[in-house]
Amino acid sequence: MLLKSTRKIWTLGVSSYLAPLLVSVIFSLLMRQQFNNCVNESKMLFVSASLSVTYFPVVAQFIEELDLLTTEFGLLTLSSSMLIQMMSISTFIIGVTATRETYIMSFAYFLGVCGTVVVAVFIIRPVVQEIINRTPEGKSIHEFFVIAILIGTLIMAFVTDYLWMDFLLGAFLMGLIIPDGPPLGCDGLGQFPEISSIEYIFYNPRSRLAGPYSKTKCTRALQSTPQEAELRAITCIYEEDNVPGMLALLEAVNQKAAISPLCAYVIHVIELVGRTTPILMPYKGDDKDLGHNSSSSSSSRIMHAFINYSNNTLGHVTIQPFSMVAPFKTMHNFVCNLAEDRHVPFIIVPFHENQIPTDFVVQQTLIQDFNVQLQEHAPCTVGILLDRGLRCQIKLLDSFTCKVAVFFVGGVDDREALALAIRMSANPNVNITLLRIKYSTNDHKGIKINESQLDDLLVNEFVEKNVNNSRVVIREEVVNNSLQMLNVIHSLRNKHDFVMVGKKSGATQFEQEMMEWVKYPELGAIGDLLASTDFYDKKMSVLVLQHCKSVR
């Protein structure tokens, strides 16, 4: 995305640097006589140049407070700000070198700058990297080394200031050579509550600046994707335990036919800690931008699992791996932008209680909020996968089997679940049971006539495609009240590997009566009931789908 914006970055960066610089220099020259030669003219120019620049960390902090860190606008601003700071430092060094009294002094100053950079890159950085390598994975660096690095930053600033360079250059070099992320990048950081900017109260900047939130863009869905066309899906992975369930779901969707390939954009989600700028980049196997070895090694294992699956499955499956480092509260922007750029109709995320032990309540809450933000703003269908054992069915691809149930009441979300089931029905290793629930005439007031017609059309399409398919079973149940609905849901116990259901179904009466008992609103009334361990067995996985919310 940023490569496409290179011209914008240079235009914004150069203009934002030159405009205040020219104004500052002009005013300093006009006011020099007011100081009565008390201040050296060259020093006035350097001070003016320094004060005309807003430094990168300040810009990054403001962007983060506005929750624009992962938006296209935020990334453009950060890139331009970094360019401005580099131009400022370069101009300062060139200016000081050119204004020295003799050529020897200019050459000595230039050697001092080069020597400082060499010491930072070839002496300090290897020492810091060795400290990180000797720290056990998951452990914190000893506070002695943290304090030593902070003191070293002050010393570098003193040295560059003593050599008549900008003291910020020393601190800037230390920031560049220290690897971001844990264990070093976050150990020296205090835990301060973030205070959002007051502007956020009056307007939501993401609606104008984030790009993917335009309602006119939210048109892609599983229903509108031809069954013979390539299915593109984004799968987000929080940790390694998510991998088997995701692989099993991809294998179930895989039609094993070259005319209908599957392309999965696999994103390893890593929380932004100890660095300023978020990133979303293709995984190359040796990425150093992820920070500590724990993140890169975990990404390596995750991506190798998906690539091995792609190489060994019978179908035509393409894996495009990505690594994403961003704060949880805004990382949905990256996913939405990727879905928009690659025309992806389907995003799959793991349920937040799949992978994190119960002690990490804060982490669970952040992941849950991320899933909710995706449902709120994604330009396509979003599926939340509660994995309870799909991993047990895919030990060997040759022996993969899956029993799927589709709970269909009606509505746009349930139609998305059925559209995915239509694609699954072409897989010879998947058995599907379509359980269609119909309310009696008196109680079925929540479904509009046109919605009911769309439901019938899709169900008829499913029946026509599988009229001679012995692996597909279709059941219809008529219910009169919520109690009968509960009995029908309960009848699925211990019969299927996982069940698919829409978040908001046509069972409006049932949803109204059950909403006060719902623990996880992002799953909907029926999905929450299926996910409840108190109500249901612990072996059946659940996939809850929601059609793009903005076009309803």
Nearest by Cα to 177 from 132, 147, 113, 137: 132
CA within 13 Å, CB half, 270 = 30
Angle at 449 between CA 444 and CA 452, to 5 degrees: 70
Mean pLDDT of the chain: 77
What confidence score (pLDDT) does residue 405 get?
A: 92
Query: Of the spans 176-185, 451-460, 478-487, which averages the highest pLDDT?
Result: 451-460
For 375, the token pair is 């449902």
Do 169 and 160 meet the contact criterion of CB atoms below 8 Å apart? yes
Query: Residue 182: pLDDT band by 50, 70, 90 thresholds?
Result: low
**Whole-angstrom distance, CA of residue 514 vs CA of residue 507:** 11
Q: How confident is the model over 404-447, as pLDDT tens digits?
A: 999 998 889 999 999 999 999 988 889 999 999 887 755 555 55
Would you give the DSSP letter of residue 400? -
Do 182 and 274 meet the contact criterion of CB atoms below 8 Å apart? yes
Angle at 54 between CA 49 and CA 55, to 5 degrees: 105
> Residue range 56-79: average pLDDT?
76
Q: How confident is the model over 102-139, as pLDDT tens digits?
A: 778 778 877 888 888 888 888 888 888 888 777 776 66
What confidence score (pLDDT) does residue 380 get?
A: 92
Q: How confident is the model over 79-89, as pLDDT tens digits?
A: 888 888 788 77
Among 221-230, 292-301, 355-364, 401-410, the range scoring the smallest mean pLDDT is: 355-364
Pairing, β 262-271 against β 541-546: unpaired
Do 250 and 262 meet the contact criterion of CB atoms below 8 Å apart? yes
Position with higher pLDDT, 96 vs 396 = 96
CA 101 vs CA 105, 106, 108, 109: distances in Å: 7, 8, 12, 11
What confidence score (pLDDT) does residue 78 get?
A: 82
Q: How confident is the model over 190-221, as pLDDT tens digits?
A: 433 333 444 444 444 444 444 444 443 455 88
Is pLDDT at 292 greater than 60 in this prediction?
Answer: no
Is pLDDT at 233 greater than 90 in this prediction?
Answer: yes
Query: Of the spans 325-329, 414-418, 474-478, which averages the highest pLDDT?
Result: 414-418
What confidence score (pLDDT) does residue 510 get?
A: 73
- Could you tell me the domains of the chain? 3-187 (no CATH), 215-551 (3.40.50.12370)
Is pLDDT at 54 greater than 90 in this prediction?
Answer: no
Residue 529 amino acid letter = L
Query: Of the spans 36-40, 131-135, 295-299, 418-422, which averages the highest pLDDT?
Result: 418-422
Query: Residue 35: pLDDT band by 50, 70, 90 thresholds?
Result: low
Q: How confident is the model over 329-351, as pLDDT tens digits?
A: 888 888 998 998 899 999 999 99
Would you give the DSSP letter of residue 292? S
**Whole-angstrom distance, CA of residue 274 vs CA of residue 189:** 7
Residues 6+ apart with CB under 8 A from 445: 508, 509
What confidence score (pLDDT) does residue 72 get?
A: 76
Q: Supply φ then ψ for residue 110, to 5 degrees.
A: -65, -40
Nearest by Cα to 140 from 95, 183, 170: 183
pTM above 0.95, yes or no: no
Query: Residue 266: pLDDT band by 50, 70, 90 thresholds?
Result: very high
Residues 6+ apart with CB under 8 A from 479: 437, 438, 439, 440, 485, 488
For 80, the token pair is 């331009």
What confidence score (pLDDT) does residue 258 get?
A: 60
Largest CA distance in the chain: 98
Judge residue 517's burial from the number of C-beta atoms within 10 Å of its C-beta, 0-12 exposed, 13-18 middle, 19 or more buried.
Answer: exposed
Query: Residue 321: pLDDT band by 50, 70, 90 thresholds?
Result: very high
State in Å, rounded, how far the first CA of the chain is from the last one: 29
- Please give the share of the chain, as a percent, with pLDDT higher than 90: 18
Judged by phi (left if over 0) then psi (alpha if -120 to 50, else beta), residue 326 lies in beta
